[in-house]
Amino acid sequence: MRNDVKSVLYSEAVLNEKVAEIGAKITEDYAGKDLLVIGVLKGANIFLGDLVRKIELPVQIDFIAASSYGSSTESSGVVRIMKDLDYSIEGKHVLIVEDIIDTGLTLHYLLDNFRSRNPESLAVCTLLDKPERRKVPIDVKYAGFDIPDEFIVGYGIDYAEKYRNLPYIATLKPEVYE
């Protein structure tokens, strides 16, 4: 698996540092409040697990599974909810945690959907952002790294359901996609 890696973009140490930084900001911004952190499966799972341990507030966790991708590297533009939230978000301070925002289509759909459930507040946190790929504007409150338009894997993020368990963020050799 590691032989498929072309280059490591963000090492484990760099990711740890960034996650701690974001967690500290969230702790400060939501001081005195309870926070509901919603992870977008499956990609955000690992980031969320590390992030919540850096948030020093009463935190609840829920997950939603949405997909705008098949197993290819191109967005289909069609968003499907495969698993909805377990609990109501009405009156809560909600922070959506994403692995990566690309076209923004997935989050645009989820934000509309969540707004209609009347949370007290709604904000977005993503580890990675590809701003130049955006098709719909998204208001991102916390972003780890802006990255260029390159397909990446690792730290929860997959290619064809593989590489999620890489402890770093990396690009793959072109022959992997053949």
Q: Which positions are annotated as active-site residues?
A: 102
Between the alpha carbon of residue 131 and those of residues 72, 75, 96, 126, 178, the distances in Å are 20, 15, 18, 12, 27
Residue 69 interface partner, choices ligand IMP, Mg ion, none, CB cut-off 5-8 Å depending on type: ligand IMP
Beta-strand relationship, 169-172 and 59-67: unpaired
The distance of closest approach from Cβ of residue 178 to Mg ion in the complex, given in angstroms and rounded to an integer, is: 24
Which positions lie near ligand IMP, rule CB under 6 A? 43, 68-69, 75, 98-106, 151-153, 157
The distance of closest approach from Cβ of residue 4 to ligand IMP in the complex, given in angstroms and rounded to an integer, is: 14
Q: State how far the Cα of 69 lies from the Cα of 38, in Å rounded to an integer.
A: 20
The distance of closest approach from Cβ of residue 91 to Mg ion in the complex, given in angstroms and rounded to an integer, is: 27
- Nearer to ligand IMP by Cβ, of 23 and 43: the residue is 43
Contact 71, 77 (CB under 8 A): no
Residue 103 interface partner, choices Mg ion, ligand IMP, none, CB cut-off 5-8 Å depending on type: ligand IMP
- Nearer to Mg ion by Cβ, of 89 and 128: the residue is 128
Q: State how far the Cα of 5 lies from the Cα of 125, in Å rounded to an integer.
A: 27
- Nearer to ligand IMP by Cβ, of 46 and 106: the residue is 106
Contact 53, 73 (CB under 8 A): no
Residue 75 interface partner, choices Mg ion, ligand IMP, none, CB cut-off 5-8 Å depending on type: ligand IMP
- Nearer to Mg ion by Cβ, of 60 and 67: the residue is 67
Q: Which residues pair with 157 in a beta bridge?
A: 154
The distance of closest approach from Cβ of residue 38 to Mg ion in the complex, given in angstroms and rounded to an integer, is: 13
CA max distance for the chain: 51
Residue 113 interface partner, choices Mg ion, ligand IMP, none, CB cut-off 5-8 Å depending on type: none
Q: State how far the Cα of 82 lies from the Cα of 66, in Å rounded to an integer.
A: 6
Decide: is 43 part of the binding site for Mg ion (CB under 5 A): yes
